[in-house]
Each structure stands twice: as C-alpha cells, then as structure tokens.
Amino acid sequence: MNTTQIAERTIHGFDDMIAIAAAEPQPHKLLTVLLRIDHAYAQGEDGKTRPIENEGELVPIAIKSFDINEKLDFASLKQDADAGAPGWGLMMTAVLPGQGPNPPSEEDVDNHLKRMAQTIMSGGSLERFLFIDREGNPVSMESQHG
C-alpha cells in the first residue's frame, strides 16, 4: 500500500491523513484533483479489444480544496465529487498547511492545485500524493513517461 507522510508521520489512507492534519495546530486545506481514467486497449487473439490492466492515462477533470476538520470524511467528498464531475475514477489528494494560525492563502491553494494537475499531465513524480479510488481505498500509482 502506498503511504504518504505529513509532519513525518506515516499515512496509510484517507482517514489517517485527515485525522493527522486535523490534529495539527495550524489550519490545513485538503487539495483534491479528480481524475478520469482513460484505459489503454489492445486487441486480443480473438480479435476483441480489451482494456490493458493497470495501463492508461489519467486526465484531470476537476480541482477543489476543502477545509480540514474532524467532520470531513470520504463520503461527503465523494458526494461533492459526483455532483461536480461524475466521470471521475480516482481522487489525487494532498494536504497544504497554513502559516501559524492562518489557513493557506487562496493563491497558494490555487497554485498547488494547478501544480498537482500539471504533475499528472506531464507524467511527474506521484509519490508525494495519496490516490483514492471511488470506494475510498488508497491506490498505489507509478508514473511512466514515454
């Protein structure tokens, strides 16, 4: 299972990430990029075209931030995501801390969200992010360029 670290703590899934960030003294934002999965296909010996397992492209289709608090859960995020971008297959997440008692600025949030989407489009390193499927399960990701 892929893990991410916040403040040098190991995170195994969405609930861990939210609980740790909510316990931090400064306010945090949850950054999300909703991704459509465009599967790669190959023609089999029988002439039928089938998706190739674990291969394809991720396409960013929506970005959004959320205040992190103890009430934030995956079910509410999924409902929001389904309403705004019903074709999503994976959710790319990251946590952005504020400065002291202040939450991250909207400019910082927007810049980080755009960089996250750009990382997907350019095939950049994905290890800093937690990816979650539609059921809320963490998904291990590898970037393959070329």
pLDDT tens across the length of the chain (146 residues): 333 444 455 677 888 888 889 888 899 999 999 999 988 888 888 888 888 877 788 999 999 999 998 789 999 999 999 999 999 999 999 999 999 999 999 999 999 999 999 999 998 999 889 999 999 999 988 766 54
Give the three-state DSSP class for 58. Answer: strand
Question: Is the distance from CB of 96 to CB of 33 less than 8 angstroms?
Answer: no
Q: Residue 103's pLDDT is what?
A: 94
Amino acid at residue number 69: N
The count of domains in the chain is: 1
Walk across the sheet containing 138-139 and list its strands. Answer: 49-67, 28-43, 90-97, 130-133, 138-139
The answer to whether residue 31 is domain-embedded is yes
Give buried/exposed letters for 66-89 (b at 16+ CB in 10 A, else e). bebeeebebeebbeebeeebeebb
The answer to whether residue 146 is domain-embedded is no
Q: Residue 81's pLDDT is what?
A: 96
The answer to whether residue 127 is domain-embedded is yes
- φ/ψ of 98, rounded to 5, equals -85, -170
Residues of the domain holding 88: 4-139
Q: Residue 60's pLDDT is what?
A: 97
The answer to whether residue 129 is domain-embedded is yes
The answer to whether residue 145 is domain-embedded is no
**Nearest-angstrom CA–CA distance, 92 and 96:** 13
